[in-house]
Amino acid sequence: MEPLVTFAPSIALPTRRYAVVGARQPKYTRLPTATLNRNLDTSTTRASTPKKSFVDDVGLGALLDNGAPWVLAGVTVLWGSQHAVMKQAVMDGATPGGLTATRFAIAAILLSPWLRSINRREILAGLELGAWSFAGFALQTLGLETTTAARSCFLLYLNVKMVPLIGLLTGRSPPWTAWLAACVALGGTYLLAGDSGMHWVLGDTLSVAAAAASAMFIVRLGSFATSCRPAPLSAATVAVTALLGAVWAFGTGEGQITTEMLPAALYLGAIPTALATVLQARAQRVVRPDRAAVIYALDPVYGALFAHWLLGEAFGAQGVAGAALIVLAAFVSNAATNSNSSDRTKTEERDEVR
């Protein structure tokens, strides 16, 4: 159910009362709409209170809210683990189509309760976002057949730098900091590609293509965020991704589920996809976007650590320098975005007070 929020125009209210006839006319101060809304009838306030979830009922809601930054840090660790798990599954004989389809089918089943209250707008948004999500994960899984998990996770993180560049397609000119971040990331990618005598392979190209699909997902998600609820939209997106994965798997004859692939698919579907989605949606109600972006910037670092721990992969000195430049570019991009957002917010607040 959408929260009931009362919007009222700004109303001029007297700053003082004058009981003496003929006294000087009072000055009027124009109050912001948000201030007026807080002083409206209490029934509106009660109606805008969100309904408690199962997490609140069992007493975990306050715990998650109080430790929200740590929850997001845990979510980032879970995201980082998926690269090595996917690479190991592919090495064990899992087909890209079968792994993608099975993973998202499991996640879709776990998130299906949120589909009961979905509306038409969220269905249409889920269709488009699911297509971009499928493209990103399919390209990533295909790329892991020929590239390492450590290289893949850093190349995929180029999506953060691609988002402002994609804005050019919609007529929005990125700030100079976006171009700076893109150049730094490009330099990091060059160093990473030539690390330890390795050459650029097809899997690296597919990883960059996956990053582009992920960037398009982020851009389009931003346009749907103001009109769709997070939980039903996430459930719809995962369901569409699972459906497209099934079409790909059975269309290419990769629909078989092997005993070697099943543990990886269960983990990927239940933990980095379903559980991480729920925890992220809950924790980001408390954590500011700028702080969350800094936490998420460690995703490829965790990915490299898991790749070293589970697969024995390691970077040379050149690879470490390239990975550091990619993470630095992400921080530059996030800092510029947050600064611009803060400036716009202050400007809007000044205009509203006037």
**Does the structure show a pLDDT above 50 at 28?**
no
For the chain, percent of residues with pLDDT exceeding 70 = 68
Query: Per residue in 53-84, pLDDT tens?
Result: 444 443 455 555 667 788 888 888 999 999 99
48, pLDDT greater than 60: no
Q: What is the mean pLDDT of the chain?
A: 75
Contact 144, 87 (CB under 8 A): yes
| pLDDT at residue 266 greater than cutoff 50 | yes
Would strands 28-30 and 12-14 be described as parallel, antiparallel, or unpaired? antiparallel
DSSP for 187-237, written as a single string: HHHHHHHTGGG----HHHHHHHHHHHHHHHHHHHHHHHTTTS-HHHHHHHH
Query: Backbone phi, then psi, for 9, in 5-degree steps?
Result: -70, 160
Q: Is it the case that residue 40 has pLDDT exceeding 50?
A: no
Residue 83 to residue 302: CA distance in whole angstroms: 10
Q: What is the mean pLDDT of residues 188-198?
A: 71
More confident residue, 190 or 29: 190
Pick 266 or 165 by higher pLDDT. Answer: 266
Lowest mean pLDDT among 139-153, 211-225, 277-291: 277-291
pLDDT at 216 over 70: yes
pLDDT score, position 287: 73
For 183, the token pair is: 């150049």
For residue range 118-137, what is the model confidence (pLDDT) as tens digits?
A: 999 999 999 999 999 999 99
Percent of the chain whose predicted confidence (pLDDT) is above 90:
26
Nearest to 300 by CA among 135, 138, 183, 158: 158
Q: Which of 188, 197, 196, 179 is nearest to 324 (CA)?
A: 188
- All structural domains of the chain with their residue ranges: 12-48, 68-353
How many Cα neighbours within 13 Å face the side chain of 264? Answer: 26
Residue 242 tokens read as 């699972």
Read off φ and ψ for residue 28, nearest 5 degrees.
-115, 140
Which band of pLDDT confidence, cut at 50, 70 and 90, is reported for residue 350?
low
Residues in a beta bridge with 30: 12
Residue 200 pLDDT level (bands cut at 50, 70, 90)? confident
* Segment 308-342, tens digit of pLDDT: 898 888 878 888 888 888 778 767 766 655 555 55
In angstroms, the CA 188 to CA 323 distance is: 6
CA dihedral of 135, 141, 146, 149, whole degrees rounded to 10? 120
> Whose structure tokens read 């990927």?
268
103 versus 286: which is more confidently predicted?
Answer: 103
Q: Which residues contact 119 (CB under 8 A, 6 or more apart)?
A: 232
* Dihedral sign, Cα of residue 331, residue 337, residue 340, residue 346: negative
Q: Which helix (H) or strand (E) holds 287?
A: none
Tokens 């399919």 belong to: 138
The pTM (predicted TM-score) of the whole model is 0.69
Cβ count within 10 A of residue 17: 7
Residue 185 has pLDDT above 50, yes or no: yes
Most confident of 109-113, 174-178, 256-260: 109-113
CA-closest candidate to residue 138, choices 250, 248, 221, 258: 248
The pLDDT-based confidence of 343 (bands split at 50, 70, 90) is low
CA angle (43 as vertex; 42, 47 as ends), nearest 5: 120
DSSP designation for 147? S
Q: CA 319, 324, 329: angle at the middle one, nearest 5?
A: 130
| 306 or 190, which is more confident | 306
Looking at residue 119, its pLDDT comes to 93
Residue 174 DSSP label: P
